[in-house]
Amino acid sequence: MTIQNFSPYLHTIDVVVLRYAAGTQPGRIEVLLHQRENEPYKDAWALPGLVVNGDIPDPSIEAAVKRLMASSKVGMEPVYIEQVGTEGNATRDPRCWSSTTYYFAIVAGDTPAGERQQFVALDDLVAQQRPAAPGRQANAYPLPFDHNRLCALVADRLVSKSLYSSLPLLFLGDTLTLTESADVTACVLGRPVQKSSMRTRLLAMVEAGYLQETDDKKQLGMGRPQSVIRSVKPGQVFFFDRSFEK
């Protein structure tokens, strides 16, 4: 059988690398951007991405993802990574018809940006696609290709999954406190989270063997020192019986 190529075609991998900036007031979720070195959109800020099986052979999608995460465009060890979906059309890339398999990844703590990198508020990138959520201030930040749309789709996945899982806690790393857990969850969901509800969730994770209480204390602000809880299963997500919506 003869297969005719009607037009050029590219498939890419794009990743939305997320970190929690607790030091900002209020805390916010930020996205890693990379300054492009080549055309199209040379010197523009964009999501880290690469062409699958382009100049470098990739035996699989998974291999391409590992290559991207290890490259200078990212160069960070994620505590969690998840495939979100695939987008494709004739207009997203000026070079030709293209598609992308896109992911989100979480890096723990205040991970610094490297050369030709910067972190930008997720709300600002989403605001380019739609208005900011009530109570949030955002300034639209345009990206090339369809990268603002990818950020908006990742934001939706992040919120929906955080309603019924421990996903937001991964931003905190191997140790956490009750207040930190409530704060990062509220930041992700975009609304306040009661500490009593958060305490119930943490206890469920302790009972399931995902977290372990310690005798250590951590000073947060001017209040009393808080008990430190340690992750027993770093990078693993716990799913609760009930959603925060219920």
Report pLDDT digits (tens) over 111-158. Answer: 999 999 999 999 999 987 776 666 666 788 999 999 999 999 999 999
- Give the torsion sign (CA, 175, 181, 183, 188): positive
Question: In this structure, what CATH number is given to the domain that contains residue 226?
Answer: 1.10.10.10
Specify whether 84 is located in the same domain as 181: no
> Which structure tokens are listed for 76?
């960070």
pLDDT digits (tens, 9 = 90+) for 210-219: 999 999 988 8
Specify whether 142 is located in the same domain as 195: no
Facing residues of 118 across strands?
A: 33
Please give the average per-residue pLDDT across 83-105, as a whole number: 96
Residue ending a domain, choose from 123, 143, 162: 162
> Which structure tokens are listed for 158?
């992040």
Range of the domain at 224: 167-231
How many whole angstroms separate alpha carbon 65 and alpha carbon 107?
A: 15
pLDDT reported for residue 23: 80
Helices (H) and strands (E) in the chain, counts: 5, 10
Identify residue 89 by its one-letter amino acid code.
N
Specify whether 130 is located in the same domain as 57: yes
Using the 8-state DSSP alphabet, how is residue 151 labeled?
H
Specify whether 105 is located in the same domain as 196: no
Name the domain count of the chain.
Answer: 2
Specify whether 186 is located in the same domain as 86: no
pLDDT reported for residue 232: 96
How many whole angstroms separate alpha carbon 103 and alpha carbon 30?
A: 15
Question: Is the residue at 240 inside a domain?
Answer: no
Other C-beta atoms closer than 10 Å to the C-beta of 86 total 11
pTM beyond cutoff 0.85: yes
Question: Is the residue at 244 inside a domain?
Answer: no
What ranges in 79-194 are assigned the alpha helix state H? 122-127, 147-162, 178-189
Q: State yes or no: pLDDT of 6 exceeds 90.
A: no
Nearest to 171 by CA among 185, 160, 161: 185
Specify whether 81 is located in the same domain as 102: yes
> Which structure tokens are listed for 128?
């380019």
For 30-72, the DSSP string reads EEEEEE--SSSSTT-EE--EEETTSSS--SSHHHHHHHHHHST
Question: In this structure, what CATH number is given to the domain that contains residue 111?
Answer: 3.90.79.10
pLDDT reported for residue 246: 53
Specify whether 148 is located in the same domain as 74: yes
Residue ending a domain, choose from 147, 162, 177: 162
Residue ending a domain, choose from 162, 189, 217: 162
Q: How far is it between the farthest Cα atoms of the chain? A: 74
